[in-house]
Amino acid sequence: GRGRPGCGVIGLDTNMIVRMVVRDDERQTAVADRVFDSLTPRDKGYLTQMVQVELWWVLRRRYRQPAAEVSKLMAELLASDNLEFEKPQDLAWALELTNQGADLADLLIARQASRRGGCTLTLDEKAAALGFGMELAD
């Protein structure tokens, strides 16, 4: 089955989305397809911010997909009527900036601190140099 009846929110784990995208395991892809086909605007799949970051990381690192392709895919998922995202405005903002060379996780980390009126200290010189809310700790 799709999940427990009356489950309410239908949280989706990263592997569900990865299977749907890369289609590298026939059995798991079939299950993921059935789950995605069952989602509707009323019974949406939910992607936490952790899943969003993990999806970015898995597709970029494990499957070596270019940042522009992953960003485009995630923007398409974000536009789906059948999916709901934790902090969708933050994801949309971060996806725009990944095209400038920033890492999605760094952007979302910095965004959380900036929402509280702060900045994020890092040892990552590249992330700090991009100027998206991260400052190099010294």
Residue 25 has pLDDT above 90, yes or no: yes
pLDDT band of residue 3 (cuts 50, 70, 90) is low
Per-residue pLDDT averaged across 27-45, rounded?
A: 95
Give the per-residue pLDDT at 6.
59
Phi, psi at 134, each rounded to 5°: -105, 140
**Which residues in 62-85 are b (16+ Cβ under 10 Å) and which e?**
eeebebeebbebbeebbeeebbbb
CA distance linking residue 46 with residue 104, whole number of Å:
19
pLDDT band of residue 12 (cuts 50, 70, 90) is very high
pLDDT band of residue 101 (cuts 50, 70, 90) is confident
pLDDT in tens, 39-54: 999 999 999 999 999 9
pLDDT band of residue 121 (cuts 50, 70, 90) is very high
